[in-house]
Structure 1
Amino acid sequence: MTYETLTLDGAPAVRLHGPAGDSVTVLLRGGQVVSWRDASGTERLYCSPLSPLAGPQAVRGGVPVIFPQFNERGPLMRHGFARTRVWALAESPAEAAHPCVVLQLSHAAAETAGWPHDSVCTLTVRLLPQGLEMALRVDNTGSNTLSFQAALHTYLEVGDVTCAVLTGVLPQAAPLALAQPIDTVFEAVPGPLALRSPAGALDLTHEGFADVVVWNPGPEAVLADLPAGGYARFVCVEAAAIAVPVVLAPGDHWQGSQTLRALA
């Protein structure tokens, strides 16, 4: 496997290269994937050009890691602290079947008021043939039971969201048109999902995560880190654990993953 360390707009990052010419780029800040180019060189993720990669705010785009709180469903900052803290590059498995990069975020109970738990988050980003897999593992390294919510807040490039359709979140595989603003948590969605848009076709699967969040702010939203008309370029389809928070006893762990596959 081949990866390089680099700096993007002042932000330390690592870029992993696949055997077919595909690549994925991950910021150490937030453990955040900000680019996935498939074997054809096509960028499959959206990242706002107005969102500074070095912060201090969370980067709008790519795949922010939401942990240990989703949105404002708790006492912490919106979407938790994982997406703005610096993760450490960890050793990748020596015998990995596919190219991968591993990052870790250790948290001590005294670090965050409102979430006094010792834990370690491990994010494994893996390039598959015409695919990208992101697996988030949470270990309870403390002496108390902990509870959390989590999501992989994936911004997918669609070219024109008004022409995009998602299947797999509605009953009987009914298509969900994305022409209107949406901010919905779909509970207990087994998948798979299929996204079809002017930017191409993607199939999405998830494991460990029970829910799926679909979000697009629409044309009326004014976001300082999103260019005018930028809303039309993406839709967020997030593998998530929200409706029923994950509970871990001391020494236990949990893992959830989301896999994106680009279709020809």
Structure 2
Amino acid sequence: MQDSVGSGRLILSEPIGSTAEVRMEGGQVVSWKNERREELLFMSNKALWKPPKAIRGGITICSIQFANFGSLEQHGFSRNTMWALDSSPSPLPPANSQSTVDLILKPTEEDQKTWPHKFELRLRISVVKDKLTLIPRMRNVDNKPFSFTVSLRNYFSVSDISEVRVEGLETLDYFDNLLDRERCTEQADAITFDGEIDRVYLSTPTKIAIIDHEKKRTFVLRKEGMPDAVVWNPWDKKAKALPNLGDEDYKTMLCVDSAAIETPILLKPSEEWTGRQEISAVSSSYCSGQLDPRKVLYGLS
């Protein structure tokens, strides 16, 4: 079904040549390349590839929580726990190609000491043509309800953060984590970057565009079941303070996450939540005025 490239790592391949590399530790996508073999995801040049620490880059699934809360570690434990291949992804059809893999995470006894609930967290990862799709599913297999938050942390590779704009979050409210989660309203026509940013945008649309002027590339992020979006770049001072991020790495990365944070998802026993995220990378000549970003965002003709 997939090609193994060593202990705990899989390569998904698509006939036209695009690939994704998946790490069983954390269920993390650590590479996504298009048919021209161009890397589309950022990976820190100081990334620590030693478990149980999460790798700084790619796409990570952060759950049972996103942020610090009580005795749970920051961003939960799903991103630095060993996942397993899921042989029963029902109700999704079984994966029958080299371009799809199904993973599952169940809590260990150690996990349940800090979060005493039984669950099954599933993740389908597919690469098809120019699209990378992740379908996370959380099932409550406990005898009591629980609530959780989740974020798919997407590290996009960009040419120069100062040449990037994000469309689709205009006029929305957001929590500013640099101002102790103060609730603000986005005033700009688009988000551009000239300093550190750490925001949780609320009730966001299903499509968000990340436009890279210099590379003439637009990432189109489509999501379901995750109403919020996190936008993060550490900028220079924070980058230097992070041990697993190069001092200059902030210039070529941008995180735009699909998330459910403001309102935790409540699951009763036997209930299941399903989310979906699809990322496509399209060539654009927006910097020469030939691409109207509204067409990318809303499918206008």
Same fold (TM over 0.5): yes
The alpha-carbon deviation at position 99 of structure 1 amounts to 2.7
What is the one-letter code of the residue matched to 1:227? G
Query: What is the rounded CA distance, in whole Å, between the counterparts of 2:151 and 2:96 in structure 1?
Result: 25
**1:30-69 residue pairs with structure 2 within 5 A?**
30-69=26-65
- Cα distance change of structure 1 residues 235 and 196 upon mapping to structure 2, 3 Å threshold: same
Query: What is the rounded CA distance, in whole Å, between the counterparts of 1:141 and 1:90 in structure 2?
Result: 16
CA contact (8 A) 2:13 2:98 kept: no
Matched residue of 1:54: which SS? Answer: coil
**1:220 pairs with 2:219:** no
Match of residue 184 from structure 1 = 199
Comparing 218-227 with 195-204, greater Cα deviation is found at: 195-204
- Cα distance change of structure 1 residues 183 and 99 upon mapping to structure 2, 3 Å threshold: same
What is the CA deviation profile of residues 121-150 of structure 1, one whole-angstrom value per residue up to 9, with x for unaligned ones? 111001122110111100101111011000
What is the one-letter code of the residue matched to 1:124? R
Match of 1:203 among 220, 235, 244: 220
Counting helix residues as a fraction of each chain, which structure ranks higher? 2
Matched residue of 2:250: which SS? Answer: helix
Match of residue 15 from structure 1 = 11
Match of residue 168 from structure 1 = 168
CA contact (8 A) 1:182 1:215 kept: yes
The alpha-carbon deviation at position 228 of structure 1 amounts to 1.7
Match of residue 292 from structure 2 = none
Match of residue 125 from structure 2 = 125
Identity of aligned residues (%): 30
Query: What is the rounded CA distance, in whole Å, between the counterparts of 2:110 and 2:117 in structure 1?
Result: 8
Query: What is the rounded CA distance, in whole Å, between the counterparts of 2:261 and 2:70 in structure 1?
Result: 11
Matched residue of 2:78: which SS? Answer: coil
Matched residue of 2:162: which SS? Answer: helix
Comparing 95-104 with 121-130, greater Cα deviation is found at: 95-104
Query: What is the rounded CA distance, in whole Å, between the counterparts of 1:212 and 1:98 in structure 2?
Result: 30
Comparing 246-255 with 97-106, greater Cα deviation is found at: 97-106
Unaligned runs of 5+ in 2: 173-187, 284-301
- Cα distance change of structure 1 residues 151 and 83 upon mapping to structure 2, 3 Å threshold: same
The alpha-carbon deviation at position 73 of structure 1 amounts to 3.6
- Cα distance change of structure 1 residues 180 and 16 upon mapping to structure 2, 3 Å threshold: same
**1:86 pairs with 2:103:** no
What is the CA deviation profile of residues 134-186 of structure 1, one whole-angstrom value per residue up to 9, with x for unaligned ones? 11100101111011000001100012111110001122892111232110000
Query: What is the rounded CA distance, in whole Å, between the counterparts of 1:242 and 1:74 in structure 2?
Result: 16
Query: What is the rounded CA distance, in whole Å, between the counterparts of 1:51 and 1:110 in structure 2?
Result: 26
Comparing 86-95 with 233-242, greater Cα deviation is found at: 86-95
What is the CA deviation profile of residues 90-122 of structure 1, one whole-angstrom value per residue up to 9, with x for unaligned ones? 237446689311111011576333310000111
CA contact (8 A) 2:207 2:222 kept: yes
The alpha-carbon deviation at position 56 of structure 1 amounts to 3.1
Match of residue 5 from structure 1 = 4
Matched residue of 1:171: which SS? Answer: coil
Give me the TM-score of the superposition, normalised by structure 1: 0.92
> Greater Rg, structure 1 or structure 2?
2
CA contact (8 A) 1:31 1:87 kept: yes
Counting strand residues as a fraction of each chain, which structure ranks higher? 1
